[in-house]
Amino acid sequence: MSSTHALRGVNFGGWLIVEKWLTPRLFTDETSIDEYGLSQSHQGRQKIVTHRDVFITESDFAWCRDHGIKLIRLPVGHWLFESDEGYVPQLKWVDWTFKMAKKYDLKVLVDLHAAKGSQNGAEHSGRVGAIRWSECQNDTIDLLCQIAKRYGKEQALWGIELLNEPDAKIGQAMLIAFYNRAYAALIPQLRRGTRVVFHDSFRPFMFSGTIQPIDGYPIVIDVHWYLFSFRFADILPLALLLGFVGMTYQLRVLRLRRRQPVIVGEWSSVLPQKLFDSVPRSHHNRLLSKSIDMQVKAFEHTNAYVYWNYKAEGRGMWNYRALQEDGVITLK
């Protein structure tokens, strides 16, 4: 698994923003389904604090350095600085992340994963339910400016991502206007060379080239591509699927790069369940290895490709570290 151009990265998902499917034990004996619900009781808040202290430790940064990881994508929420809506502030752990990144020569992409009002209504936005982010755009820009003011001069800061996975129901014009306003607001507080990253809202070619970069402050588009969601993924034979997807990914990257740099901020080895069910369990790791090798080759002309996720409670497809330790991911 190698690339001559792109940074290899992992997401520290499920840490500062908890997700039940990644860390189900955290929700044992709880009726809540997301971090908002867990934060509404003293017991839940204590669980969150303990989880943050133990899920990622200094040894994880050392492991990343020793296994070819160069970039940490760090999902944060609108409660980073203060206890908004009962959430436990994240500041202590974000400060510590930069300290560890500097020590272990890693770069950090601070990703606003959960904006006030929720930009997608999903669990990873902190609260499942209604999408009211459009009413909170100014709050989002204020928060991004706070992040830039605190970390904008840090040598470990690779970039700031303006908003993770805004729902496709949010109008294109509204998002483009927001991205441009946020970019302009951040520039004065960032070190030259710091990247400002925007997510494509799963409509890459509608957003490509819509933000004009200011010299010294690169604009980067972030795409999230998962094999299991690829059209026809559940009906194509493996070899045909990987070949077709690999070619499609490469063409998409090359096309997007004409307008701005590209990162794949989330990807994984996970294949359609139907494909797994069609072969013996003993062959599953081989399938995962093939899917990883194909994608890394396709991503070599990006600026970075960042696996979701670095770790999870269970070993397997969503746990990069376990895949590495079990020999499914091999570094060349």
Distances (CA, A) of 322 to 3, 43, 279, 296: 21, 30, 22, 18
Q: CA 269, CA 33: separation in Å to the nearest integer?
A: 26
Answer yes or no: are the C-beta atoms of 194 and 188 closer than 8 Å.
no
- Which residues does residue 71 pair with via DSSP β-bridges, in sequence order? 9, 107
d(CA 192, CA 187): 9
Q: What per-residue confidence (pLDDT) applies to 332?
A: 61
Q: Are 16 and 74 in contact (CB under 8 A)?
A: yes
Structural contact between residues 111 and 122, judged by C-beta atoms closer than 8 angstroms: no
Question: Is residue 220 within 8 Å of residue 260, measured between CB atoms?
Answer: yes
Query: Whole-angstrom Cα distance, residue 52 to residue 54?
Result: 6
The helix (H) or strand (E) run that includes residue 275 is helix 273-277
> What structural domains does the chain harbor?
7-325 (3.20.20.80)
% of residues, the chain, pLDDT over 90 = 83
Residue 274 confidence (pLDDT): 80
DSSP character for 285? Answer: H
Look at residue 295 in the predicted model and tell me its pLDDT: 94
The whole-model pTM stands at 0.96
Of the candidates 182, 177, 176, the residue with the CA atom closest to the CA atom of residue 203: 176
Label each residue of 120-133 as H, E or C.
CCCHHHCCCCCCCH
Q: What is the pLDDT of residue 16?
A: 98
Judge whether 80 and 143 are in contact, CB under 8 Å: yes
Q: Residue with structure tokens 């294949």?
A: 271
CA distance linking residue 143 with residue 302, whole number of Å: 28
Tokens of 219: 């604009």
Task: Give the residues of the chain that fall short of pLDDT 70.
Answer: 1-4, 331-332
**CB of 268 closer than 8 Å to CB of 252:** no
> How far, in Å, are 153, 188, 265, 313 from residue 147 at the CA level?
11, 12, 19, 29
Q: What is the pLDDT of residue 331?
A: 66
Q: Is 9 helix (H, G, I), strand (E, B) or coil?
A: strand
Integer Cα distance of 45 and 97 in angstroms: 21
Nearest Cα residue to 71 out of 86, 81, 83, 61: 61
pLDDT at 106: 98
Contact call for residues 179 and 210 (beta carbons, < 8 A)? yes
Closest residue by Cα to residue 63 from 26, 95, 100: 100
pLDDT at 4: 47
Name the phi and psi angles at 93, rounded to 5: -80, -30
Neighbours of 264 (CB within 10 A): 24
Gap between the Cα atoms of 212 and 218, Å rounded: 9
